[in-house]
Amino acid sequence: MPRLVPLIVDVLILAAFAAIGRRTHAEGSAIGGTITVAAPFIIGWLVGALMTRLDRAPHSASRALRTWAVGVPLALLLRSTLFGRGLAPGFVVVALAFTLVTLVGWRLICATVRRP
């Protein structure tokens, strides 16, 4: 799998998280709104990926876990400050759980499938 594919998968996961959330809360499904909601998570993930050098092992679940530990809290900080969105405790729990399961989980599944 080329190195860019994991990044694309991660961004699509974060966009799906935003789209699902907007739909669940009847905020509509407009692409612009979804991008606005996803933006702090995408930015946080990319900054975390740079800090943890996820590009060196883009399929590594352990490296993705370190990226998650940096990127998602940063995303929540960005969401509450620069993007002016709330951080209800329930949202924080859902955001942490969804992103952990999906961003790390797909890598674990791929590693399991690739094992001989």
Check: CB of residue 34 under 8 Å from CB of residue 15: yes
Q: How many CB atoms lie within 10 A of CB 7?
A: 16
Distance CA 5, CA 20 (A): 22
The structural domain count of the chain equals 1
With H, G, I as helix, E, B as strand and everything else as coil, classify residue 114.
Answer: helix
Domain that holds residue 82: 4-114
Check: CB of residue 75 under 8 Å from CB of residue 68: no
pLDDT surpassing 70 at residue 17: yes
Tens digit of each residue's pLDDT (9 = 90 or more) over 64-108: 999 999 999 999 999 999 998 889 999 999 999 999 999 999 999
